């Protein structure tokens, strides 16, 4: 049995396939970002998913693509955890950016971008990824991501820059007590996922001028720092992966046009495309 996993910071989509590459089951776990989530919590999030544990001795390969898996130390942490659970499996780990490439362009050259809980981009030349700037994560980078917009909403609420009618709804929907926010940001696992939870609020008000202004500014920052430096022409295919890109596709396309570029496709969840790629390319 082979496990294929597409892991963001918020959740991981798992698909199990048999030796004939036929799907056996699929499940979701909480995010497994080894750069942020403590080791014990990573372990618990896997073993508490009974579908995975039921087949742990039957798994021969794991292909895990995840947020936080772009540098050696976090990769080694996650590899050791997976090996300790799936004792008969060979474990392959790569960053979520590679899963986005496989799901979007396959083997064709393209600019591929992630706009979900976090954000990132690369140019895939048909053989390997070219990344001009490594991501430093949710505190310093992640322009136009869920956690980026979550921070913007919280800051505007506390500085009284949010329109009154939206602020009233925002207060009703979330616990905005300062101590509660600080606890989740500085003492709980996955502060980036916590921040991104506020971004879902924008979907309800996506036609509001205030929300549109925030989104446009965030998308323009993403293009400025994460797309335009590649210096590609309008003929270069551009793919976006993730819920932020998917739900605000109309605004994203307008920002692309403003920058003389055109988006080829926006994919909300890449797992099905990733499965198709593996069926075709993995022996």
pLDDT digits (tens, 9 = 90+) for 44-58: 999 999 999 999 999
* 212 domain-assigned: no
* 189 domain-assigned: no
* 30 domain-assigned: yes
* 41 domain-assigned: yes
User: Shortest CA distance to 244 belongs to which of 33, 8, 69, 34?
Assistant: 8
Q: CA-based angle 186:187:188, to the nearest 5?
A: 110
* 262 domain-assigned: no
Q: What share of the chain has pLDDT > 70, as a percent?
A: 99
Residues of the chain short of pLDDT 70, as ranges, are 282-283
CA separation for the pair 240, 37 (Å, rounded):
25
pLDDT score of 270: 86
* 85 domain-assigned: yes
Burial of 278: CB neighbours in 10 Å, binned 0-12, 13-18, 19+: middle
| Count of the separate structural domains present in the chain | 1
The pTM of the full predicted model, rounded to 2 decimals, is: 0.86
Domain hosting 41: range is 2-99+271-281
* 64 domain-assigned: yes
Contacts of residue 270, defined as CB under 8 A and 6 or more positions apart, other chains included, come to: 6, 99, 100, 102, 103, 104, 241
pLDDT score of 21: 82
Find the CATH number of the domain harbouring 92.
Answer: 3.30.420.40
């Amino acid at each position: 049995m082979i496990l294929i996993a597409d892991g963001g910071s918020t959740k991981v989509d798992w698909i199990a396939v048999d030796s004939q590459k036929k799907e056996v089951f699929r499940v979701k776990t909480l995010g497994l970002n080894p750069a942020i989530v403590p080791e014990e919590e990573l372990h618990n999030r896997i073993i508490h998913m009974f579908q995975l544990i039921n087949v742990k001795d039957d798994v021969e390969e794991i292909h895990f693509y995840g947020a936080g898996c772009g540098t050696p130390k976090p990769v080694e942490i996650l590899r050791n955890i997976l090996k300790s659970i799936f004792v008969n499996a060979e474990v392959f780990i790569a960053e979520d950016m590679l899963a986005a490439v496989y799901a979007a362009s396959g083997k064709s050259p393209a600019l591929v971008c992630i706009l979900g809980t976090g954000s990132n981009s690369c140019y895939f030349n048909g053989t390997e990824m070219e990344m001009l700037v490594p991501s430093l994560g949710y505190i310093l980078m992640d322009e136009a991501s869920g956690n980026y917009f979550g921070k913007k909403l919280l800051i505007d609420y506390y500085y009284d820059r949010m329109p009154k009618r939206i602020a009233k709804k925002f207060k009703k929907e979330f616990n905005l007590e300062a101590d509660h926010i600080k606890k989740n940001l500085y003492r709980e696992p996955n502060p980036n996922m916590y921040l991104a939870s506020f971004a879902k609020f924008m979907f309800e008000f996506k036609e509001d001028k205030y929300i549109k202004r925030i989104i446009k500014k965030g998308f323009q920052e993403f293009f400025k720092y994460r797309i335009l430096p590649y210096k590609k022409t309008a003929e270069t295919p551009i793919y976006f992966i993730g819920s932020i890109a998917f739900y605000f596709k109309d605004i994203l396309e307008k920002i692309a046009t403003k920058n003389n570029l055109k988006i080829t496709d926006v994919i909300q969840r890449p797992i099905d495309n990733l499965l198709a790629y593996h069926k075709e390319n993995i022996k």
